[in-house]
């Protein structure tokens, strides 16, 4: 019988293929039925296809519209929803306490960060955002002194210097260069600040007015990381490593390696100086030298921490400043109140200090409301439930389930905030209008919550308050009609921001403040007539994709590539080669996973 079987299989590949195909289809159907009717999470509501396969959720991640869809699903299904067979999304204050809060002595295990989301670092050293357990506690202890109130006071002269340079560049270039992209200059200011604190020297962005390869590679890595996660989340080991090598763009891998190499070189240069500066490295080195043996930071660990501090301390701050500016310009009465508070509080720019800027109540309310409307990290950073399981929002969840707290849907939910889609900073003031009574502000945690909350919270507020105060003390800003839908953007872990431009043809001195110029903004310089390219789609997805691939950080200047990116829009989802490759790999992974489940 064995000989007959061998002969049939070896001489008739069609039969063999049919058998394998039948097994594969059977595996897929079996897994779908299991996910729908037998899985421990089967009773949780959510979109049908999301409960069947993780490909559905991955599809929306790849589209850049995850934040929009997840809000829609929460509005439809409630505070907890099942978006993939093994993933639950929450948007309530109780979920924050249960998932991210401090653990009591009788609670075993912790909600560790989901490493399929964060990925393995190239140099093998996890940063503080991704590390778990004792490793995270050690990193947090070593980094904490760099973000203390004492450190912030010592760092103020450095922050003041870069903010003043930012203001001076806006003043000079507004009359000499034509349109000014305020989003770009927010990024230049924050990256130079944090670059100096993390590496001992700035990137030189404010000085040159041009991008930097290290900074550019950060944006690419964050965005393409979405596609890498699509492969990692569905493909069984060890095959996923092979497919990552085959399908992840070579340029991305080169950018990531360059990022690590440049960070190593900059960090080594800073350490060789061995000078007493009040920057992150000084505090990290001091903390490491006080430890014994393996408790201190290794050089690869220092590189990883510096990289995450650059991203967390600069891009997110620049994002919020951009969103705040747009929201203020689309709400003139709010802008008037803020400018009145700032300009009545200071008689000279030199009077603006971190302490005094932090004492402006309406500015703080504006920042809180901007973070609610436009959270710098809009989507969830998943964690895993500890074994054997944990109670979340009154319901038991088995161990090993990915759970996430979705910022965008939480802060835009009418279960947490009244008039959630309206920009009303007054809701954060003690004497707010009665219509905002009963709001659930305990659901608002843009800097996370509990023992893993953001270490750089105070530094972030210092940057935000100082930049915003000096900007609105010096300049009047106004919005042109073309930018009314600026906030319709895609998200790939972070927002894909469009440009906010200021032309050079409007200049005036304010009767209250010298050197004041109104900023009028539009999405981008319209050079399509010069290139002969068709006008971009005016759907939200098309606009966002067009802006994203035309901003100064992308450095995409090939007309043929621009045309392909603009025209390759399917519905409201821009679709390209990276998407197709990632979807193909995800599909292959689903089939392989189904087959593996039968073995």
CB 9 within 8 A of CB 15: yes
- Cα dihedral 37→38→41→42 (10° resolution): 10
- Please choose, from the candidates 403, 453, 406, the residue with its C-alpha nearest in 3D space to the C-alpha of residue 114: 403
CB 363 within 8 A of CB 467: no
* CA–CA distance, 446 with 320 (Å, rounded to integer): 11
| Residues pairing with 87 in the sheet | 84, 402
- Is residue 454 annotated as involved in ligand binding? yes
Please tell me whether residue 15 adopts helix, strand or coil conformation.
Answer: helix
| Helix orientation angle between 577-598 and 54-63, rounded to the nearest 10 degrees | 170
Q: How many CB atoms lie within 10 A of CB 599?
A: 6
* CA–CA distance, 37 with 196 (Å, rounded to integer): 55
* CA–CA distance, 420 with 438 (Å, rounded to integer): 13
- Tell me how far CA of residue 62 lies from CA of 120, 376, 492, 570, 582, in angstroms: 20, 19, 8, 13, 8
Q: Are strands 402-405 and 87-90 parallel, antiparallel or unpaired?
A: parallel
* Helix-, strand-, coil-residue percentages of the chain, each rounded to 5: 60, 5, 35
Q: Which residues contact 92 (CB under 8 A, 6 or more apart)?
A: 79, 80, 393, 410, 415, 416, 440, 443
How big is the CA angle at 546 (ends 565 and 332), to the nearest 5 degrees? 170
Please tell me whether residue 422 adopts helix, strand or coil conformation.
Answer: coil
Exposed e or buried b for every residue in 502-527, given b needs 16+ CB within 10 A?
A: bbeeeeeebeebebbbbbbbbbbeee
* CA–CA distance, 111 with 103 (Å, rounded to integer): 10
Kindly report the length of the chain: 599
Q: Which helix (H) or strand (E) holds 273?
A: helix 250-273
CB 448 within 8 A of CB 111: no
| Residues pairing with 391 in the sheet | 396
**Phi/psi at 125 (5° precision):** -110, 120
Q: Is the dihedral of CA 226, 227, 230, 232 positive or negative?
A: negative
How big is the CA angle at 394 (ends 393 and 399), to the nearest 5 degrees? 80
Concatenated DSSP letters of 361-396: HHHHHHHHHHHHHS-SS-S---EEPPSSEEEETTEE
| Residues pairing with 389 in the sheet | 398
| Residues pairing with 88 in the sheet | 82, 403
Pick out the residues of the known binding site for heme: 454
Pick out the residues of the known binding site: 454
């Amino acid at each position: 019988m064995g000989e007959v079987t061998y002969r049939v299989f070896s001489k008739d590949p069609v039969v063999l293929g049919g058998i394998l195909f039948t097994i594969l289809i059977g595996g897929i159907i079996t897994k779908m039925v299991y996910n729908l009717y037998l899985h421990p999470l089967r009773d949780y509501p959510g979109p049908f296809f999301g409960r069947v396969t993780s490909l559905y959720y991955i599809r929306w991640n790849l589209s850049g519209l995850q934040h929009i869809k997840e809000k829609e699903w929460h509005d439809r299904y409630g505070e907890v929803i099942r978006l993939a067979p093994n993933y639950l999304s929450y948007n309530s204050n109780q979920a924050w306490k249960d998932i991210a809060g401090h653990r009591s002595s009788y609670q075993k295990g912790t909600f560790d960060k989901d490493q399929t989301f964060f990925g393995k670092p190239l140099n093998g050293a996890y940063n503080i955002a991704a590390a778990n357990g004792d490793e995270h506690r050690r990193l947090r202890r070593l980094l904490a002194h760099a973000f203390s109130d004492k450190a912030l006071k010592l760092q103020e002269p450095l922050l003041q210097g870069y903010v003043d340079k930012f203001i001076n560049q806006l003043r000079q270039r507004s009359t000499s260069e034509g349109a000014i992209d305020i989003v770009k200059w927010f990024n230049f200011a924050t990256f130079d600040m944090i670059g100096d604190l993390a590496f001992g020297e700035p990137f030189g962005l404010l000085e040159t007015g041009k991008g930097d390869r290290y900074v550019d590679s950060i944006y690419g890595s964050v965005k393409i990381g979405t596609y890498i996660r699509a492969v990692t989340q569905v493909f069984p080991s060890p095959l996923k490593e092979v497919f990552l090598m085959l399908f992840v763009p070579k340029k991305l891998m080169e950018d990531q390696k360059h990022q690590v190499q440049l960070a190593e070189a900059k960090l080594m240069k800073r350490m060789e100086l061995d000078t007493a500066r009040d920057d992150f490295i000084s505090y990290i080195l001091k903390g490491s030298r006080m430890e014994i043996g393996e408790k201190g930071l290794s050089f690869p660990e220092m590189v990883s921490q510096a990289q995450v501090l650059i991203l967390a301390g600069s891009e997110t701050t620049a994002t919020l400043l951009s969103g705040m500016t747009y929201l203020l310009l689309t709400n003139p009465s709010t802008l008037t109140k803020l400018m009145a508070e700032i300009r009545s509080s200071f008689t000279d720019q030199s009077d603006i200090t971190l302490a005094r800027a932090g004492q402006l109540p309406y500015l703080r309310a504006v920042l809180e409301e901007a973070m609610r409307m436009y959270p710098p990290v809009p989507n969830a950073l998943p964690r895993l439930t500890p074994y054997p399981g944990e109670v979340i929002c009154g319901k038991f969840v088995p161990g090993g389930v990915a759970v996430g707290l979705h910022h965008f849907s939480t802060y835009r939910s009418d279960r947490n905030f009244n008039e959630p889609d309206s920009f009303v900073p007054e809701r954060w003031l003690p004497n707010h209008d009665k219509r905002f009574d009963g709001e659930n502000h305990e659901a608002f945690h843009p800097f996370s919550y509990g023992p893993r909350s953001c270490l750089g919270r105070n530094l972030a507020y210092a940057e935000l308050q100082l930049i915003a105060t000096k900007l609105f003390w010096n300049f009047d800003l106004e919005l042109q009609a073309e930018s009314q839908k600026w906030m319709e953007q895609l998200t790939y872990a972070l927002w894909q921001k469009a440009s906010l431009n200021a032309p050079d043809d409007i200049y005036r001195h304010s009767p209250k403040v010298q050197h004041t110029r109104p900023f009028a903004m539009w999405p981008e310089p319209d050079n399509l007539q010069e290139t002969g390219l068709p006008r971009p789609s005016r759907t939200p997805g098309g606009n966002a994709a067009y802006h994203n691939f035309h901003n100064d950080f992308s450095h995409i200047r090939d007309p043929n590539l621009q045309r392909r990116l603009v025209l390759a829009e399917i519905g409201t989802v821009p679709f390209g080669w990276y998407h197709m490759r990632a979807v193909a790999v995800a599909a292959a992974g689903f089939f392989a996973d189904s087959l593996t489940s039968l073995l």
